[in-house]
Amino acid sequence: MPRWQCPETIWHALVIAAALLASYSYFPGPGGANQNSRFGLTRAIAERHTLYTEGYDGDSIDRAFWGGHFYSDKAPGLALSAVPVWEACLVVLHAAHKNPSAQRSVLVGRYVVTLVCVALPSAVAAAILFLIALKFGASVGGAGFAAVTLGLTTPFWCYATLFWGHALSAASLFFAFAAVVSLREFDSPWRDLSLGISVGLAAGWATVTEFTAAPPAAILASLALVYASPGGGRRLFRVATGVAAGALPCILVLMIYNALAFGSPLKLGYAISAQQDWPLMKQGLMGVTYPKAYVLREIIVGRYRGLLPLAPLVGTAPFGLWLLWKQANARGSALVATAIALYYVLMNASYASWDGGYSYGPRHLSPALPFLCLPLALLWTRSSPAIRSLLAVLAFYGAFISLIAVSTNVMPPDTAKSPVQELLWPAFHAGNLSQNLGTFTGLRGLASLIPLFLVWGAAIAAWVWLRLSVVSGAPKPR
């Protein structure tokens, strides 16, 4: 049995997913224009059976006016995913004789849909990253290091607590990547078809959730066909059919939504709002033109939105990608991971609203993070103890900065040109933390983080116990 399919390995992946889900759910994300726009659409569909959002979106600025009504201008994937979750919440609220429109009900409901539709897929994506890293030859420790790097030491932690589309889109793209990687080996025609459908469905839903995922989705579909082609025409046809069958429902959902809301299957709400309210968005394709050098500098190393000052460990990803490239059977995956990461960096540098407004770090390139963290598993596995110590220090720093952000303000205002130094660290140092599950138990200030630390301690203990169990169960040499 391959190592990544062993029961002990699956338990390791479950420990990672559980620890990250606890970390994401510990901090109920705040509201905001982006969240209100998406959740307003969810509520409108579930409660009023319409697509126009006025009365539910809190007068969000992220909306398009069309045909006498306001609509969410966001890609609808996340809002649509949350509809059955909110409908389940409505059943519970009605059974408890609570008003679904009351502020407390709305806040709790938004927390629940964020937990199910954003935090859970994000945690599962990190666990799958762990398993995929094992497929590429990483050690269990290296794979775990890469998964935790994604989950806790990058801004991904913050995005996983918010009802935004970035984390779900990132997770969906990585689900598609995992299915593509599995196509490297042939097992059965049925498996080929199932994996093809998984690629199309996951990549398609990533695009319905964030339109900018369309090029990476196409790249992943292409790699699936490349992996299938050595098996002959029949295998290529099966995989291609599966990819098309998985993508088609996503395309239909988006076209039907656009037709019902905006009168045309090809008309996007974001294009409408951009023309109406955002002059910068009239440049190029909905604000996307060409990469600007100063924006590239800002989103990579700048104090305002730079990724590396917040997650310096990501800067070592090229070394891991090189190690992945050196494996003959992984070169396609290494090339695609690199291409997707570069695409998001260049797209963000080409975007008129590149800073993302009230945001922690460069949120527009966040779907690149799983693909940048995956190769860190090989880097850890192949490194000397001294290099591992350096990687661990960088990881600890990134986790600490992410903890500061997620526990104080995951959406610092765009007026702060150095958010960590100006706002987040002073608030954290003074114990001025936002509400979290610890504060609901009566803990205050930094002490409210103690339950989270206990969860982490339990996860580490479970991990160590699993590792010792594997070692003690290994056959003894004769």
Domain range annotation of the chain: 3-409+418-470
Structure tokens at 284: 């190029």
Q: The whole model's pTM is what?
A: 0.94
pLDDT for position 5: 64
pLDDT for position 62: 85
Q: Is 264 left (phi over 0), alpha (psi -120 to 50) or beta?
A: beta
Q: Residues 293-296: contacts with CB within 8 Å, 24+ apart? A: 295/348, 295/349, 295/350, 295/351, 295/354, 296/345, 296/346, 296/349
Euclidean distance between the first and the last CA atom of the chain, given in angstroms as a whole number? 23
Q: How far apart are CA 284 and CA 300, in angstroms?
A: 23
pLDDT for position 57: 87
Task: Give every CB contact of residue 23 below 8 A, 6+ residues apart in sequence.
Answer: 151, 152, 157, 452, 455, 456
pLDDT for position 476: 44
Yes or no: say if 331 and 175 are a contact pair by the CB < 8 Å rule: no
Q: Which residues of the chain have pLDDT under 50?
A: 475-478
pLDDT for position 250: 98
